[in-house]
Amino acid sequence: YILNLKTKEIKEIKEIEDMKINENCIIYRKNILTENYCFIYYLSRVGEKHIGYLDIYRIDLEEIKLLQTISLGYPYIIKQIIKLNGNKLIGNDIKGNIYEFNIDDNFHISLKDIFKGSDEGLNEENINIYKYNDNKIIAFCRDSIIKIWEFN
C-alpha cells in the first residue's frame, strides 16, 4: 500500500517482489532510499553461478516502475545503501565489500567501484555504514573497529 500523506489517499499496488523476484532468485532485501525510490537487492542464478543484482524502482501514488537493473558482478547481495550526497550512493554487502554508485541528473545510477572494506579477521557481516558528512561514511563493526572512508 502507498499512503499519500497530503491527501490521506491509500492506494493498493502489486507487491514489488511479484514484479521481479522469481524461481531463480534465492534471496533478496528491500530498502526505501528516499520517498520516491525503492531498491531491491537479490541473487539470481546464471547457469551454475549466482550473481548479485540491484533493481531500482520509482514509486508514486499511481504505480511502481522499474527504472533500471544493475549487475553487481559478485555473488553477494547488498545489505545496505545510503545516499551520501546528491550524486553518490554507498552500499555494503555481507562479505565486507563497499559499493560506490554515481547518480546522474535523471537519477540514473551507475556502479563506479567495488572495494574490500574490511581487513582479514573483521566480522564483515556486522558492518553497518552511516553518512558522516557529504563525502565521508563511517563504519561501526561489532569488533570495536571504526573505519572512515572519503569519496570524491
Residue 18 has pLDDT above 80, yes or no: no
Distance CA 90, CA 117 (A): 12
Give the C-alpha distances (Å, rounded to integers) separating 94 from 28, 122, 139.
12, 12, 13
Residue 15 has pLDDT above 60, yes or no: no
Distance CA 139, CA 92 (A): 10
- pTM, two decimal places: 0.77
Quick one: pLDDT band at residue 126, thresholds 50, 70, 90? Answer: low
Residue 17 has pLDDT above 60, yes or no: no
Q: Using one digit for the tens of pLDDT, what is the confidence trace for 42-57?
A: 888 878 888 888 888 8
- Residue with cell string 553497518: 128
Q: How confident is the model at residue 121, as a pLDDT?
A: 40
Listed in sequence order, the DSSP H helices in the chain are: 16-20
Q: How confident is the model at residue 35, as a pLDDT?
A: 65
Quick one: pLDDT band at residue 114, thresholds 50, 70, 90? Answer: very high
